[in-house]
Structure 1
Amino acid sequence: MITAVTSFSLPKPITWEEARSIFLSTAPIYRGVPGLFRKTYLLSEDGRTAGGIYFWNSRSEAEALYTDAWRARAREKYGADPTVTYFESPVVVDNVAEQISAGGD
């Protein structure tokens, strides 16, 4: 599994309510994306940084999303260029499903 973390240094702080509105407007875009099984939106306490944590089946599926068009859409919504950092996720604890998953299983 791959975890991708995106972040945007916002040109001006946004409130929780503003972030929620923006996030709800973009959330439908991520439904049904191949290989993406969860996305969590993020907002820093000071409202100056926004982003997301994406959980993917593979790096190639993640990279298929983060295109120039995705970056342009993010820049338009947030007024900032996004960064994307990839992490291998060799073990995942899922308390909802009451499971621990290890890569390669």
Structure 2
Amino acid sequence: MITVIVTMKLNKAITREEGKKIFLSTAPRYKTIEGLVRKYYILSEDGISSGGVYLWTTKAAAEAWYTDSWHEFIKETYNTTPSITYWESPVIVDNILGCTTSDDQEL
């Protein structure tokens, strides 16, 4: 599995409530993406940085999502350019489900 961390510095700070409103408005677009397991929206305490943490089944699935049109959507929504970092995620502990998963198991 692959974890992708997307970060972006905002042009002006936003409050938690402003961030939540934006995040809830964009959340539906992430519900049916092939290979996306989970997405966390993130906002810094000072409200000047935002982003997302994504868990993907494969790097290919992740790379297929971060297209030019996705970058344009981010630019239009947040008026900034994102930074994208890929991380291997060989083991995941899920305390809600009470399990540990490794990347050689099917989800």
TM-score by length of 1: 0.97
Runs of 4+ that moved beyond 2 A: none
Match of 2:60 in 1: 60
Alignment of 1:66-85 (within 5 A): 66-85=66-85
CA distance in 2, matches of 1:102, 1:37: 14
C-alpha deviation, 1:7, in angstroms: 0.7
Alignment of 1:1-105 (within 5 A): 1-105=1-105
Give the number of aligned pairs: 105
Letter of the aligned partner of 2:56 in structure 1?
A: W
Unaligned runs of 5+ in 1: none
TM-score by length of 2: 0.95
CA distance in 1, matches of 2:31, 2:2: 18
Percent identity at matched positions? 48
Identify which range, 64-73 or 94-103, moves more after superposition: 94-103
Unaligned runs of 5+ in 2: none
Q: CA RMSD in A?
A: 0.7
C-alpha deviation, 1:103, in angstroms: 2.2
CA distance in 2, matches of 1:43, 1:103: 28
